[in-house]
Structure 1
């Protein structure tokens, strides 16, 4: 049968404009190719299956023609039937290069029909330390032979569902349970194999975990690598996060020369009957080269400077794009309702912002998630996001420090801040710094790939999850880790970053050169539920005090505290500052992230050190019999209230 299938592929490749026949409009069950008068010559045909309007995938079916002359095909047809499915594949109708997609489908279709028998594909090792695990091309086999999920779960020596990379010193159970993904790992392995027609098994799989997604790096027996990315529930709104990431990547691939790995398959509907994996996912090619984080320490100073310049040469393509509004990018005929989108072109649109700040997990508020036509409406979205998040934080007010404030206080500060933000938005400096800009949300060394031979050549930029169109000044606080000075010598790389950004991405760099106090109220406006009401209140008070110095016109609409409330305000702010300093110092001492994350292997040691540090600080507070009047922490209750991590 292999010869017949090979001949069919060759003949199909010779058909003129064949790729143009694979469209969303072709009816399910209709013939795609070849035409009926060529049935005897081709012996096989491709019919249309179901079209998924969300993923833009057209399922296609390889079937045996009634006029087939091959004994192998005629024998297969006798055992089955003429309309039985010899093989299936999915044609991505949204692919930019239709001919390349047609070629991929042609290569994929014959493979299931040629799948080896089960005993050729399985090899169960006696020891996972010495033997390689193989996963069979299960999808091509009868159901009774499918490589069941239970085997796939243990084949690579890790738990694919549970977060295992670290623990949290605060709300550990919540943080880890928020990153649990219930899905069918065996089905994911099946799908990866289906997408690799030249491979017959998976040699290895590596599990990687970030803050918002889980990644599986599959290596096939032919050395090809595919990457599957599954989002955590806290990454943002269901379906929108995945569909926006796919659309953003495709838009950038269409409009820029930024090297982003190709998306091979994706599904944003975890509940769809057609999604056997049971989770949203994106499967893409592995980036070529090596992560910059792996080679940075071995690079010379000259190489690092040239690499930084090369990064911004690539990113220039994104900052040169122009957009009519703020929000996230989606496919034009995707899941975003027409009233909630603005067209970019016939294929793409701007729709709701998929950032998690606009989508609290639990809220009774009406959400304002965009898109927004102007900066005033963008500010309304920020304030509404702050109000919506309050309902989720109100449940544990008893755990908050005194400066945090009541729900009423948060509401009052947020409502008072909105007219001031709109006042500020009319300032010419703010307007010039607020052009809608799309940029990478996490441009650090781990997300940048470079050539193994020459690390100054950028070969890939990955992880565009959450990338959205923001006011240019929104990125003014971001500083990539390759530009962060750690000692006096490395100030050179910050200067290289600054110069490269100014030259290649001026829209991004201009706000960074301005007074940061112009933008701080915007950055704090939506997050009082996290920082406490005092944080935004302080920013607004300082803005009101420096109104003229910041070159704003008229009278600031935010009220400066009167003498009666000034003392209480200053006391609350000192405690807030003490809490931030404590979190920073404690994270450094424990070698943890600011949210308390530590690697799993350091968990027990870190817990012990954490308790010892608290006991020592508590003893210092209790032994201070005559604290200064402006000392923010004077007793055990206050210390416990601002302690950033859980205490035994």
Structure 2
């Protein structure tokens, strides 16, 4: 297909989301069968034999629709579907309209100069699809339009509420500090209830620096290993992944040694603690 055909397909697929957004749910949570073995006081009835029950995160049910390849197509039970607020998805883009993930370790300008004509056309095609999706969300889907117009400060805090098991306390603490700084500017009532002490702020500064370093490391590893954020690797690629892991670890430790020599905060001991895998 050419760029115009891709754009039209993206437009049609995006308009399907309008139908899904028209659905109204009485609560946020997961959709289960009405006879699921869960306490009655935790069930909110829906139509056609379904109900909404407590949220079940991927941590407990790691079988999302995008991870079927991990199960070789043999597992047809994808677990409960999720009903969440529109602002949770305001910054998320489906695969058919998403931009490629950038490697923070690469020079963007240098990379663009190395692209072939076909690769440039492909990037332009992807950009058009992304803009088409964004236009449909903003102009034709009221829930998403309102969510996208919100100040990101409002929903980032909620986003981190259910990713703290992965991102840790420093991330959500930083959002609280940012919210506190902009409390009056955002025209929120009263005063921000979060009032950390000077000692807590000093501890947080160190912890948040480690958090940012860890996130950069994980992003680099995810791109290098071509894996998901959970680090899943197919069995047939395991041996190659172990070799790549060893090479990445050696490079990470060498970087820490260089940082120590230049009197930066990173040390070999800290690098060891931040490394996310048991394998070295």
Question: TM-score, normalization: structure 2?
Answer: 0.76
Which residue in the other structure is 2:119 paired with?
A: none
Distance 1:492 1:551, change over 3 A: farther
Which residue in the other structure is 2:276 paired with?
A: 644
Deviation at 1:528, TM superposition (A): 2.8
Structure with a larger share of its residues in strand:
1
Distance 2:77 2:13 in 1: 15
Deviation at 1:471, TM superposition (A): 1.9
Distance 1:328 1:583 in 2: 29
Deviations, residues 293-342 of structure 1 (Å, cap 9, x unaligned)? xxxxxx22112111122113323222112222223334556655543333
Deviations, residues 325-377 of structure 1 (Å, cap 9, x unaligned)? 223334556655543333344x44533135236x859xxxxxxxxxxxxxxxx
Which residue in the other structure is 2:158 paired with?
A: 522
- Residues 330 and 336 of structure 1 are in contact (CA less than 8 Å); yes or no, is this contact kept in structure 2? no
Which residue in the other structure is 2:195 paired with?
A: 559
Distance 2:39 2:241 in 1: 48
- Residues 518 and 550 of structure 1 are in contact (CA less than 8 Å); yes or no, is this contact kept in structure 2? no
> Which of the numbers 308, 324, 327 marks the counterpart of 2:26?
324
> Which of the numbers 604, 623, 630 marks the counterpart of 2:239?
604
Deviations, residues 245-268 of structure 1 (Å, cap 9, x unaligned)? xxxxxxxxxxxxxxxxxxxxxxxx
The structure whose Rg is larger is 1
- Residues 253 and 271 of structure 2 are in contact (CA less than 8 Å); yes or no, is this contact kept in structure 1? yes
Distance 2:36 2:219 in 1: 43
Deviation at 1:574, TM superposition (A): 0.8
Distance 1:318 1:620, change over 3 A: closer
Are positions 1:617 and 2:231 aligned together? no
> Which of the numbers 126, 136, 144 marks the counterpart of 1:490?
126
C-alpha RMSD of matched pairs (Å):
3.0
> Which of the numbers 205, 210, 224 marks the counterpart of 1:570?
205
Which residue in the other structure is 1:481 paired with?
A: 95
Gaps of 5+ in 2: 70-75, 101-122
Distance 1:307 1:561, change over 3 A: farther
Are positions 1:586 and 2:218 aligned together? no
Deviation at 1:558, TM superposition (A): 0.7
> Which of the numbers 32, 51, 57 marks the counterpart of 1:356?
57
Which residue in the other structure is 1:304 paired with?
A: 6
Distance 1:332 1:612 in 2: 50
Matched position secondary structure for 1:350: strand
Are positions 1:533 and 2:169 aligned together? yes
- Residues 443 and 480 of structure 1 are in contact (CA less than 8 Å); yes or no, is this contact kept in structure 2? no
Deviation at 1:499, TM superposition (A): 1.5
Distance 1:477 1:603 in 2: 33
Deviation at 1:592, TM superposition (A): 2.8
Deviation at 1:605, TM superposition (A): 2.2
Distance 1:625 1:644 in 2: 20
Distance 2:224 2:41 in 1: 51
Structure with a larger share of its residues in helix:
2
- Residues 312 and 500 of structure 1 are in contact (CA less than 8 Å); yes or no, is this contact kept in structure 2? yes
- Residues 472 and 511 of structure 1 are in contact (CA less than 8 Å); yes or no, is this contact kept in structure 2? yes
Which residue in the other structure is 1:469 paired with?
A: 83
- Residues 312 and 504 of structure 1 are in contact (CA less than 8 Å); yes or no, is this contact kept in structure 2? no
Distance 2:196 2:233 in 1: 41
- Residues 86 and 144 of structure 2 are in contact (CA less than 8 Å); yes or no, is this contact kept in structure 1? yes
Gaps of 5+ in 1: 1-298, 362-440, 447-461
Distance 2:217 2:16 in 1: 39
> How many equivalent pairs are there?
249
Deviation at 1:621, TM superposition (A): 2.4
